[in-house]
Amino acid sequence: MKLSVIICCYNEQATIKQVIEKTKAVDLGPGWDREILVVDNFSIDGTRQILQQLNDPEIHVIFHDRNLGKGTSIRTGIANMTGDYFFIQDADSEYDPFEQRKFTDKARATKAPAIFGSRILDGEIKSQYWRTLMGNRFLTWMHNFLFGHHITDVATASKMVRADVAHSLNLVGTSFDLDFELPNKIALAGHDIVEIPINYDPRTYAEGKKIGWKDAIEAVLIMLRNRLGFSPVFKKELQSSRVAE
């Protein structure tokens, strides 16, 4: 089997090289091959220059010619993947690449259509901000209520999805909304999500954290749109007033 690791980055000069090196160092287990797809979303801090210097057949770097949002970066990775599964690896230090082995072990054992890393299964989620913790609890409850799932951490960034499932979902998200569109449409397609516990080392906004309260509002609108056909009239305004990744 083959894993396509999608690393989306926007202004991650301080961490991108380390994340790539850690990803390359992961032993995925017997029977697994890997490709690394790095999608740069028009970084302006020197990240692109670091990526331009890479010369590794395992790594495929894709440069967006303008900032198109994290969701678009993930969809770019999916469109270019050749693996049996894709795995979303953030380019910062919050999620440890070495935990990818947990996902490949689970996929080999279960052939699950989707495997999410839960920051809650081993205890309460770590958070630098109370509002982030409460927001995640609410969004997880809302997803489970609307889509009939029983997951614990809908907002996790560590998501692994089988390629055939991913290509069937017609994903359209362009920003952080895709983090919620993905589980929503997995549920609507009749698939379950398997969760495994992961570690999480949250960073502050001063350290580069980008997601905020506008993304939470957008997540609610995306759930309503996906479940009820509700058109999120504020989506364009929210997207135009926030920083994309």
Which segments of the chain does DSSP mark as H helices, in order?
16-25, 47-52, 70-80, 100-110, 130-147, 163-168, 178-188, 213-228, 235-240
Residue 201 CB partners (closer than 8 Å, separation 6+)? 93, 94, 96, 126
**205: pLDDT strictly greater than 60:** no
The average pLDDT across 167-171 equals 97
What pLDDT score does 241 carry? 44
φ and ψ at residue 18, rounded to 5 degrees: -65, -40
In terms of DSSP bridges, do strands 114-118 and 159-162 run parallel, antiparallel, or are they unpaired? antiparallel
Contact 244, 173 (CB under 8 A): no
Q: Taking all residues of the chain, what is their mean pLDDT, rounded to a whole number?
A: 89
CATH code for the domain in which residue 114 is found: 3.90.550.10
Q: Which domain holds residue 26?
A: 2-240
Residue 6 forms part of a structural domain: yes
47-97, pLDDT tens digit by residue? 999 999 999 999 999 999 999 999 999 999 999 999 999 999 999 888 999
Average pLDDT value for residue range 235-245: 45
Q: Using DSSP bridges, classify how beta strands 33-40 and 59-63 pair: parallel, antiparallel or unpaired.
A: parallel
Q: Would 21 be classed as within a structural domain?
A: yes
CA angle 77, 218, 119 (to 5 degrees): 65
Q: What is the pLDDT of residues 210-220, one digit of tens each?
A: 566 687 888 99
165: phi then psi, degrees, rounded to nearest 5: -70, -45
How much is the pLDDT for 74? 97
Predicted pLDDT of residue 131: 72
Is pLDDT at 243 greater than 60 in this prediction?
no
Total tally of structural domains belonging to the chain: 1
- pLDDT tens, position by position, 94-109: 899 999 999 999 999 9
Residue 167: closest CA among 195, 149, 189, 144: 189
245 in any annotated domain: no
DSSP conformational letter for 68:
-
Evaluate whether residue 19 is within a structural domain.
yes
